[in-house]
Amino acid sequence: MNSPVSIVAAATGVSGTHITAMRVYVDNVAEYTQNGASLSASVSMSAGSHSIAVVGYQSNGAAQKTTETITVR
């Protein structure tokens, strides 16, 4: 059985850049992409432990990444 997981994130560019897009990875697989510096997504996941990464892509080509581990019941 899959459960929807809500993911909400925002990022700010560094060193005079801005965030052009954000992407959600679940267990190293890209699941959701949104243009801009924020996102709100509902991602379906099976029960168990999952690694969630949110990456903000800056206008200069650099990326900022935050990773969390969650458990879906």
Q: What is the CATH number of the domain that holds 47?
A: 2.60.40.10
Query: Mind listing the pLDDT tens digit for each residue in 21-69?
Result: 999 999 999 999 999 999 999 999 999 999 999 999 999 999 999 999 9
Judge whether 51 and 69 are in contact, CB under 8 Å: yes
Q: What is the structure's pLDDT at 16?
A: 86
pTM of the shown model: 0.90
Q: What angle do CA 70, 28, 11 make, to 5 degrees?
A: 75
What domain range is 10 assigned to?
2-72
Report d(CA 41, CA 34) in Å as an integer.
Answer: 9
Q: What is the structure's pLDDT at 56?
A: 96
Look up residue 42 and give its DSSP letter.
Answer: E
The total number of structural domains that make up the chain? 1
